[in-house]
Amino acid sequence: MKRRDFLKALGIGLTGIAFRPLLGKAQIFGRREEGESPEFMGILVDTTRCIGCRACEAACAESHGLPVPDIEDTSVFNTRRKPTTQQLTVVNRFETEKGEVFVKTQCMHCNQPACVTACLVKAFKKQVYGHVTWDKNCMGCRFCMYVCPFDIPKFEYEKAVPEMKKCDLCWDRFKRGMIPACVEACPQEALIFGKRRDLLHEAKTRIYKDPDRYYPHIYGENEVGGTSFMYLSKVPFEQIGFRTDLGNTPYSKYEKIFIDVVDLIFILWPVTMWSMYELTKKEGSNE
Amino acid sequence: MNERKNLIKFILSELKPKGPIFTPFNVITAPIILIGLIIIILRFLKGLGAVTNLSQEFPWGLWIAFDVMTGIPWAGGAFCMVFLVYVMHFDKYKPIVRAAVLSGLLAYSFYAGALILDLGRWWNALNPFIGNKFGFQSVLWLIAFHFLLYTICAFLEFAPIIAEWLSLETIRKLLHSIRIPVVILGVTLSTLHQSGIGALTLMAKGKIHPLWWSEFTPILFFLQSIFGGMSMLIFEGSISHRVFSYRIPEEVHEKHHSILIGLARGCAGALFAYLALKFSVFIHVHGWEYIISKMGGWYLVEVIGFGLIPLIMLVSAVRQENIEVIRIAAFLIMLGILIARFNYVFIAYKWYLPLSERYYPSWMEIWTTATIVLTEIWILRWIINRMPVYVIEKEE
């Protein structure tokens, strides 16, 4: 190999190394800051206590500056509703083997959220206290919607300047030392706010103390790697509209399979191709 | 000084249309493009909801499915050909390498460029490239960056031809000297973003029908970009050799036949590898449990109708040197990739939703896509009519 070729090869290699951090580096997969990192907060939803009053819906709309729904109107229970750009949380009614059950739906605030991994501009963020929040540097590519296992982010298609809307676990209120609006509004204490660890403790205690009242599973303890919203129920969760086929693997792990190989390809491919180039060079060519 | 004046004069004279203006192609496509531009303006003024059928359930529609998911693997011929000709020194494909690079460059500029239409908050489109909020962990970030870098690579690969056209000898020599590193970087980037498009689907586990969702999707997508790119070269090459025959010298024309046969062989090889991997995935996911259903039938249409059958056609046509059959097979393979990619975006995606909640493209989405393809063809024609695309490069 001539000196010039060697320098060329070296140049390519160094460029590769220089670009490496830019070309896909797994940085936040499951990693937490070292040192004093606060614990994730969360909300425990005890569906056995919920009476379907929809006070949480109204409180949520009010605190987020959205149109407040008429909570006297019970006809909304006739259809299965999903959160929208106008309603970040909705309550649904389910007929089950143990009577009717009301279930509040909103962003689950995953421990390792697919939307945060998906976001290429860090508009979606997992705050150190567990809140999954959205910021205005979003490009509107909607990859988060494509991947979210709970179909939560909602996009304002009808606007020329659209935003992504979803529950933010009242991040602004939290910064001012207040508890989430829905929790504050709940007359039944069906919602409790606290450290995720304490909530799990409480949920397990309730199941243990009253095994007839509860189905022995906490939805959100391990689902997709654990979520900040956790649910208790008296019936199996598929009867009240939950997906029970999501598994316990955090969704970001599925992508990590690929991201891990990126570095490898970036080192192996150029070197291999350069040697192929040298090996197949024609005699007498001074190329 | 005088030289510069001459250059400007030359460019101005080249900008003028060559040949008749009112050809059937122009008369039909010009109004389509004009109406398409109006739709694009409407999209920016009124938002995505005004022109598309996108919904909260289906955040990605035709624009992603066709422009990115399908257009990019169809453009895979560029990286395959520069790899064969410049890295592996296969002189056989020299006559088409420039055309391949050109169509790759245009595909990336237009299809990746059309992405801006699909971005809801398009004014933030530069955020992945500038600022301090790089989402390194996102496959989409990797793809965005690779699109940008690869488009630059493809431009540098094509730039010597522009320099030749403008008779800028020093620039051409300079570009020629950096060609091999650029080609190697380009092939590496292609490997990663072609498979990266497949990696986008990994986190949609549970929303994509189990017959399609697989950890191997990135590798499947990469293989598709090889045989998809070659099919496109066969298909597009056959058309340009008729349409632009007056621009194609005899020595290039003579070799066209054997090049098509060679491409068909390569295409069949990659397609075979793809189908073998697809089959092993099928076994892994216990595919037979799903096969007796609507989606199972649709899966068979994609894999057999637009995979296995064109493979058999290719193999027999290569033996008999039957160019017509090769062309039909190439077209079927391209359609097969289109179907496969549409599946990941809105057909096998959320297959469990009832028909009433499903996505189908609006006429304006289809019209916009047609506008983008036609504009690309206009630019392609403009370049082929002026620059030395169909020539066999001399050894230097």
B396 touches chain A (CB under 8 A): yes
Q: How far is B245 from chain A (nearest CA, A)?
A: 32
Would you list the domain boundaries of chain B? 23-384
- For the stretch B176-224, pLDDT in tens is 999 999 999 999 999 999 999 999 999 999 999 999 999 999 999 999 9
Average model confidence (pLDDT) for chain A?
Answer: 89
Per the DSSP assignment, residues forming a β-bridge with A154 are A165
Per the DSSP assignment, residues forming a β-bridge with A191 are A45
CA–CA gap between residue A12 and residue A274 (Å, rounded)? 10
> What are the backbone dihedrals phi and psi of residue B54, each rounded to the nearest 5 degrees, phi first?
-60, 150
Answer CATH for A41-109+170-252 from 3.40.47.10, 3.30.70.20, 3.30.450.20, 3.20.20.105: 3.30.70.20
Look at A22 and B60 and tell me if their CB atoms are within 8 Å: no
> What does the pLDDT read at residue A10?
62
Say which residue, A256 or A181, is predicted with more confidence: A181
Look at A140 and B87 and tell me if their CB atoms are within 8 Å: no
- For the stretch A61-118, pLDDT in tens is 999 999 999 999 999 999 999 999 999 999 999 999 999 999 999 999 999 999 999 9
Collapse the DSSP code of B63 into the 3-class scheme (helix H, G, I; strand E, B; otherwise coil) and give the result.
Answer: helix
Q: Cβ–Cβ contacts within 10 Å for residue B210, how many?
A: 16
C-beta separation of B262 from B327 below 8 A: no
B215 touches chain A (CB under 8 A): yes
B342 touches chain A (CB under 8 A): no
C-beta separation of B185 from A8 below 8 A: no
- For the stretch B133-163, pLDDT in tens is 888 889 999 999 999 999 999 999 999 999 9
* Contact partners, residue B243, CB within 8 Å, separation at least 6: none
Interface ipTM: 0.93
Please name the residue of chain A whose CA is at the shortest distance from the CA of residue B192.
Answer: A262
**Between β-strands A90-96 and A154-155, what pairing exists: parallel, antiparallel or unpaired?**
unpaired
Query: Cα B35 from chain centroid?
Result: 24
> What does the pLDDT read at residue A132?
97
> What does the pLDDT read at residue B395?
74
Would you list the domain boundaries of chain A? 41-109+170-252
Look at A157 and B205 and tell me if their CB atoms are within 8 Å: no
B184 touches chain A (CB under 8 A): yes
When pLDDT is cut at 50, 70 and 90, the band that residue A25 belongs to is very low
> What does the pLDDT read at residue A286?
55
Which residue among A255, A265, A282 places its CB closest to the CB of B89? A282
Look at A280 and B142 and tell me if their CB atoms are within 8 Å: no
Query: Cα A185 from chain centroid?
Result: 25
Of B191, B182, B196, nearest to B226 by C-alpha is B191
Q: How far is B83 from chain A (nearest CA, A)?
A: 9
Mean pLDDT of B74-89: 95
The size of chain B, in residues, is 396
- For the stretch B221-261, pLDDT in tens is 999 999 999 999 999 999 998 889 888 888 888 889 999 99
Q: How far is B171 from chain A (nearest CA, A)?
A: 17
Q: How far is B3 from chain A (nearest CA, A)?
A: 30
* Homologous superfamily in CATH for domain B23-384: Formate dehydrogenase/DMSO reductase domain (1.20.1630.10)
